[in-house]
Structure 1
């Protein structure tokens, strides 16, 4: 039997790509609440309801995607599409889940471009203070999940201290590499992973994806004309390639790329990030806002593709290599160290730029506390809280 026939046999009876697109489009329109909620929606839809894979196999998909850089929930979604219909299914799943929020964030960016004064009202202040509460809650949740013992917590604190003292972009990369090395040396305790995931169609050369990923990452560090489409693509690709831990962690990377050089103000940056919280689908579509501010629809399209591309390449490379990662404790320990370092990275970002850009008086602290209690204790949906914070900011500030 030829490889083409094997491929056809593996996907016999599977859903067509357009059907996968419509399924994920519905989820992209209705999946509010961030990555953790998205994983729950995927489990309900594709494990419980449609039985595309077992709960154990789904758990392994989630574990692999959480170990890789990039947006974990989007990576899980495209992996589900890949397991159902190969690369076409992966593309259909990603496009359906990403398109709604990407379009909405682009329209928001274009609206601010047409009406610049809109970015200076009290509603912007409300969104900025809301972001403080959201990032604080993310630090807390990620800390409980990724820093489960004293060694991991120590790595997170050391990373935060180093970045608060010297927070340059190159230092962020260096400390995460150091965190991975510390994790490998310390042999952090790992949960035993049961083998349950079966890949129906193996990519012919998974190393090709790694080579393409690495080559594009090297190109992303080349100097380019500020504001050009190539510059937008390189900045977003670099962020997507180096971010562990999901959407919230991309904040310090993009702040260093767009705010520090003066491409947009901290107020506009945090307003866009706050608005992204109110959107369904992946938080990484915040990139569409940044690209749209810089270069309209073309910039938004380049930004979205660039920020999701590295995580996609690593998924296609990582699925066939999952058995290696599963069986090598040192590799898992290194990735656990990086994940602990990510908590420290986000903790440092909570202070600068999030807190320093938003909180200036006791009233701001009170606003943040109210938003945090609403999010964590009262369980107000994040998209409702985002819109409510903007409205309250308009009335108060």
Structure 2
């Protein structure tokens, strides 16, 4: 791994720990929180470079928001930075899901609670801020604005997991065909943190794991190896975000390791947690009847489901950085960046808006709270964590 000052690694861990404690609302909201903290507040990336990284992680399998965090950590401090960013962002929800599996579930599901409704409202405001901010810089003309609207429309009409990467591919092809080649800005690069040889080695390692782990798990009676194989394959084969991994996990753990009711209880709890939805694996590992220590089983499942994501983003970045230097590819990338705005716009409606502002007498109240939160973020520059806490408190009172 690339050597980096311990202070840089510690800073990365603390920044992503704060994001892991406050980033509610799912992958789309996470990208909004990341942009506010890493682009606007700290200036670690430009909007264009951030969008490039988001595009790369959207086309890779795995949890896109976690991969964006891993990519930022890798760019800032090498391999140890990637680990620090992943650990900081993942640790809070992983610990909470482990605790839930160990008995906090007896307190009842958080679904339907007012404070959870407030957190969903906060996510709506955060995503709306991200869409408006990225649209100003990434869709400044009618051509790119049209591309963004096209992607949003396609994704809204056809919400299947494979439609998102297909819509992004379409935006890239139209950008290559119709858009002028943009110049690379001074701060818009994604410098390759690893050599191409190292990147190819990591990609080959990912493929080797996918081939070797099932064979080893079949040949060995070790329950931890079988668990690691199950969650590694789930993390490597899913496109379209955290929710899409649920059918893969359900098929793998129900009824072999736990019953359907226990599975659904954990799924309900993870909706209320900050950080990545993939920490559902922490709960499943701890709750599974494997004969392993629950803490150790949770660790095996969590590392397994996130390992392919880290290997893929680190392996792909060296090639991505080289490709984006080519004029034709930059035109395509400009279209892809506009497509990212469209994806966020579609996500702003569903699932973010539809889950935060539901039909019924409390819908107008939730919408009013979302408007107040958006104004606090944009007009008054309130920190996202403060808006999250305020929305949770108000939600507990009125929603």
TM-score, length basis structure 2: 0.69
Equivalent in the alignment of 2:280: 290
2-structure distance, mates of 1:62, 1:107: 29
Shift of 1:350: 1.8
- In 2, the alpha carbon distance for the partners of 1:152 and 1:301 equals 39
Which stretch of the first structure deviates more once superposed, 331-340 or 70-79? 70-79
Q: How far 1:73 moved relative to its partner?
A: 5.1
Report if the CA contact (8 A) 1:25-1:97 is conserved: yes
Question: Is the Cα contact below 8 Å between 2:174 and 2:335 reproduced in 1?
Answer: yes
Say if 1:112 and 1:119, in contact at 8 Å, map to a contact too.
no
* Displacement after TM superposition at 1:105 (Å): 1.3
TM-fit CA distance, 1:41? 6.8
Is 2:246 the partner of 1:258? yes
Matched, 1:132 2:124: yes
Quote the offset at 1:372 in angstroms: 1.4
User: Residues 23 and 134 of structure 1: is their aligned pair in 2 closer, same or farther, counting only changes over 3 Å?
Assistant: closer
Distance in structure 2 (CA, Å) of the matches to 1:149 and 1:377: 24
C-alpha contact 2:72 2:82 (8 A) present in aligned 1: no
How far apart are the structure 1 equivalents of 2:38 and 2:206?
26
Query: Which residue of 2 is the match for residue 381 of structure 1?
Result: 383
Change in Cα spacing, 1:254 to 1:206, as seen in structure 2 (3 Å) is closer
Mapped partners of 1:168, 1:201: distance in 2: 34
Matches within 5 A, 1:34-45: 34-39=34-39
In 2, are the aligned partners of 1:267 and 1:357 still within 8 Å (CA)?
A: no
CA deviation vs aligned residue, 1:103-126 (integer Å, no higher than 9, x gap): 111122234443332513221111
Q: 1:119 aligns with which of 110, 113, 120?
A: 110
- Gap change, CA 1:197 and 1:307, over 3 Å in 2: closer
* Structure 1 position 150 matched with structure 2 position 139: no
Q: CA RMSD in A?
A: 4.0
Deviation at 1:190, TM superposition (A): 0.7
| Aligned residue in 1 for 2:151 | 159
Cα distance between partner residues in 1 of 2:380 and 2:175: 36
Provide the C-alpha distance between the structure 1 equivalents of 2:122 and 2:156, rounded to a whole number of angstroms: 22
CA deviation after TM superposition for structure 1 residue 339, in Å: 1.8
Is the contact made by 2:138 and 2:341 (CA closer than 8 Å) also made in structure 1? yes
Structure-1 residue corresponding to 2:335: 337
Aligned to 1:306: 308
Asked if residue 187 in structure 1 is aligned to residue 186 in structure 2, the reply is no
Aligned residues of 2:151 and 2:339 also touching (Cα < 8 A): yes
In structure 1, list runs of 5 or more residues that go unmatched.
Answer: 1-6, 45-54, 82-89, 220-226, 243-251, 277-285
Answer yes or no: is the 8 Å Cα contact 2:199–2:317 preserved in 1: no
Counterpart pick for 1:348 among 346, 349, 357 = 346
Q: The residue matched to 2:183 in structure 1 has which SS?
A: coil
Q: CA deviation digits over 1:207-249, x for unaligned, max 9?
A: 4556667888999xxxxxxx9654543444456xx6xxxxxxx
Tell me the TM-score normalised to structure 1 length. Answer: 0.69
Matched, 1:107 2:98: no
1:77 CA drift (Å): 2.8
SS at match of 2:344: helix
Q: Is the 8 A contact 1:79 1:315 kept in 2?
A: no
Question: Is the contact made by 1:151 and 1:188 (CA closer than 8 Å) also made in structure 2?
Answer: no
Deviations 1:319-363 (A, max 9, x none): 5x2xx532x211111122122112212222222222222212211
Separation (CA, whole Å) in 2 of partners of 1:387 and 1:377: 18
Q: How far apart are residue 257 of structure 1 and its match?
A: 3.5
Query: Structure 2 CA distance, aligned partners of 1:345 and 1:215?
Result: 32
Report what 2:71 is aligned to.
75
CA deviation profile, 1:59-80 (whole Å, cap 9, x unmatched): 9976864663354454233123
1:222 equivalent in structure 2 = none
Q: CA separation in 1, counterparts of 2:192 and 2:309? A: 26
Number of the residue aligned with 1:246: none
* Corresponding residue SS for 1:34: helix
Distance 1:341 1:145 in 2: 13
